Amino acid sequence: MASLNAFITEERIESDADGPLAGKTVAVKDNISTEGVRTTCGSAMLDDYVAPYDATVVSRLKDAGATIVGKSNMDEFGMGTTTETSAFGPTRNPVDTDRVPGGSSGGSAAAVTAGEADLALGSDTGGSIRCPAAFCGVVGIKPTYGLVSRYGLVAYANSLEQIGPIAPSVSEAASLLDVISGEDANDSTTVAEGDDSDYAAAAGGDVDGLTLGVPTELIEGADEGVVETFWDSISELEAQGATYEEVSLESIEHALAAYYVIATSEASSNLARFDGVRYGLSGGEGNWNESFARAREEGFGAEVKRRILLGTYALSAGYHDKYYKKAQDARAWVRRDFEGVFDDVDLVASPTMPVLPPELGESLDDPLQLYLMDANTVPVNLANLPAISVPAGEADGLPVGLQLVAPKFDESTMIRAASAVE
């Protein structure tokens, strides 16, 4: 199965700690710093960058006794929905090797599905854990913003992204979340809620009395096979004692535009650190500006350049109020909309992805079409909420994911309901 290209670097880091992950192998997404190991972010810019320190989540994996087996492939700097924009070639979906594994944590999900790792870490800025989990038929959790430390995660859009687990089952994903969650002095956006968590214990599958809200806006645009599989899984939860009602999230139509304005704006700022001087590809001779611009021309792929330029444009004089400020309003609106819905229901349910996994190469030409695929996942990041993608079944022989979204820090309810779907 080496042909999947799930890893950029295969390197075994053993731990002799006797923790909850002793004997488990873990794949770590290649934008998470690992001391002494190449950390490329899927970019030619960082082809030979070796991280001089461990991300907090990597220290926690080691303390828990996990064996790291490699750095998994990803869309360059986390920018993509298919894992085709990696400078190290696309990853293939183990379920159907002519298809994409989803992205941007595609290598992590493919490694777990193919059994090349027991568990994996991904990062989710607009759906990058949940999308590949859905396309590869495994479980992925995007935690509440602040639950897991981002120290050592190479930033793309830091107000949106969280590190989270990918695993074959809900209880294994929950166990990995228990290991990585909790306050960290090196990331002042972390909170204490996850300090003594026992999310694994929540995976008992009891959904009696639980109410689910299904936003009509997230069903309407989805593929027929996806929608059928989604409703089958809702029926299954009903049979186990849950109820559902249709809800409306009026703001959601604007979420995608707001997400791309905010994400590209933050990207244009965060990726300004790649000047080719302190690390990364060198721009060579010339004055600072020439050298800087040449390093970035050679080091970044098309999608990364596209997003840096879109973000620079959105923040430039004359457009700041039109794009960035309005996007922040939309973000506040999305957050308030979710809060209103959670007054009535325990969880929000939808298909994770509105489509089935595309074939390799099929979706690359039109960036806007690709951005539209993220419609169901990005509202969660804008609202800083937790969400899980759990396999809901198949359509045309391909995996479909069910997404469950919970109120802030209510990972337990979400994990409980997801375990009832398995």
Partner 1 sequence: MSDSPVDSEEVRHVAELARVDLADEEVEEFAAQFADILAYFDALDEVPEIEADEDLVNVMRPDEVREGLSQEEALSNATETEAGYFKGPRVS
Q: Is 171 a catalytic site residue?
A: no
H-state helical runs in 19-65: 56-63
* 198 in contact with partner 1 (CB under 8 A): no
- Whose structure tokens read 């999608």? 303
* 220 in contact with partner 1 (CB under 8 A): no
**Selected binder of partner 1 within 60, 62, 71, 254 (CB under 8 A):** 254
What is residue 140's three-state secondary structure?
Answer: strand
Catalytic residue among 33, 72, 104, 175: 104
Strand partners, 181: 148
What is residue 54's three-state secondary structure?
Answer: coil
CB neighbours (10 Å) of residue 133? 39
Q: State which of positions 371-390 bind partner 1 (CB under 8 A).
A: 371
H/E stretch holding 165: strand 162-167
Cα distances (angstroms) measured from residue 134 to each of 129, 292, 399: 9, 39, 6
**Selected binder of partner 1 within 11, 195, 238, 329 (CB under 8 A):** 329
* x/- letters, 297..326, toward partner 1 (CB under 8 A): x--x-x--xx-xxx-xxx-x--x--xx--x
**Selected binder of partner 1 within 101, 194, 283, 407 (CB under 8 A):** 283
Q: Is 86 a catalytic site residue?
A: no
By beta-carbon proximity to partner 1, the closer residue of 371 and 409 is: 371
Yes or no: say if 157 and 270 are a contact pair by the CB < 8 Å rule. Answer: yes
Strand partners, 140: 166, 389
Cα distances (angstroms) measured from residue 234 to each of 209, 241, 243, 255, 341: 14, 11, 9, 25, 18
By beta-carbon proximity to partner 1, the closer residue of 124 and 303 is: 303
**Selected binder of partner 1 within 4, 258, 360, 400 (CB under 8 A):** 258
Give just the sign of the alpha carbon dihedral 362, 367, 373, 374: positive
Q: Is 104 a catalytic site residue?
A: yes
By beta-carbon proximity to partner 1, the closer residue of 42 and 122 is: 42
Catalytic residue among 33, 43, 59, 128: 128
Catalytic residue among 29, 62, 142, 408: 29
By beta-carbon proximity to partner 1, the closer residue of 26 and 375 is: 375
By beta-carbon proximity to partner 1, the closer residue of 41 and 173 is: 41
DSSP label of 66: P
**Selected binder of partner 1 within 159, 169, 243, 291 (CB under 8 A):** 291
Q: How far apart are CA 84 and CA 82, in angstroms?
A: 5
* 52 in contact with partner 1 (CB under 8 A): yes
Residue 361, by phi and psi: left (phi above 0), alpha (psi -120 to 50) or beta? left
Yes or no: say if 144 and 48 are a contact pair by the CB < 8 Å rule. Answer: no
- Whose structure tokens read 């244009």? 268
* x/- letters, 137..176, toward partner 1 (CB under 8 A): ----------------------------------------
**Chain residues in the site for partner 1 (CB under 8 A):** 49-50, 52-53, 185, 188-189, 253-254, 257-258, 260-261, 268, 272, 275-280, 282-283, 285-294, 296-297, 300, 302, 305-306, 308-310, 312-314, 316, 319, 322-323, 326-333, 335-336, 367-368, 371
Q: Which residues are catalytically annotated?
A: 29, 104, 128
